[in-house]
Structure 1
Amino acid sequence: MSAHSAQQQGNEHGQEHPISLYFKIWGLLFFLSTLSYLVDYFRVESYLRWTLILSFMFLKAGLIVSVFMHMAWERLSLVYAILLPPLCLLVLVGLMATEAGYTLALRLLYFH
């Protein structure tokens, strides 16, 4: 069997990952969700609350995208093509939010 025919045969069947991997990720997602709910249960307040909730949210989203959407096994160029545009948009939204705060402060200073 040549390398080309083995590769062709592998492409026909697709990638198969052990079910234990998915169970581990589900367990980890459940654990992260529990931690997120515990933040509210223990009434954590202020910026610590939002930092913890957003951290758990991003960790869960990263696990879902990498494992369940099979992004961890894709080519790096495809990962960049999918993830970089939303990341650039988030940076631009952050810059606009900063500019909006500056504009509001100037308007309150001069027009109020």
Structure 2
Amino acid sequence: MAHAEAQQHPLGIYLWVWLALFVLSVFSYLVDYVGFESYLKWFLITLFMLLKAGLIIAVFMHMVWERLAIICAILVPPGVLLVLMLLMALEANYTLFSRLEYFLR
């Protein structure tokens, strides 16, 4: 019976990711502390959140070391859902603005 060798990754990679997650969290809190408002605040918070999620998925869930087929199978469906949500949001805005224009005449 053949032995399956477990793949060991250097501890330094995990420590660097922990440090990057800490720095991104500090930036996320600084956005609120500095007092950014409106769309800039939400854009920055969302950006830092997505960067942290990407680091966690890539390193701690070992996606960076997986085959392309597995990566596509996991990442493409949420991407398609995000595109469909964007299209629905655009359609909702169009419907809202056309109704407001019609009713305010």
Match for residue 3 of structure 1?
none
Corresponding residue for residue 97 of structure 2:
105
Count how many residue pairs are aligned between Structure 1 and Structure 2.
104
Residue 111 of structure 1 deviates from its aligned partner by: 3.4
Paired with 2:60 and 2:39, the residues of 1 have a C-alpha distance of: 31
- Tell me by how many angstroms 1:85 deviates: 0.6
Q: Which amino acid aligns with 2:81?
A: L
1:19 maps to a residue whose letter is L
TM-score, normalised to structure 1, is 0.86
CA apart distance, 1:50: 1.5
Q: Which residue of structure 2 aligns with residue 71 of structure 1? A: 63
Q: Which residue of 2 aligns with 1:5?
A: none
State the shift of 1:46 in Å: 2.1
Deviations 1:43-90 (A, max 9, x none): 011222112111111110100000000000000111011100110000
Listed as ranges, the matches of 1:1-112 within 5 Å are 9=3, 12-112=4-104
Structure 1 residue ranges, 4+ long, deviating more than 4 angstroms after superposition: none
Q: Give the SS at the match of 2:7.
A: coil
Q: CA RMSD in A?
A: 1.5
In structure 1, how many angstroms separate the alpha carbons of the residues matched to 2:102 and 2:39? 30
What is the rounded CA distance, in whole Å, between the counterparts of 1:99 and 1:93 in structure 2? 10
Higher radius of gyration, 1 or 2:
1
Q: Describe the superposition over 1:25-55 as per-residue Cα deviations: whole angstroms up to 9, x where unpaired.
A: 0111001000000010110112221121111
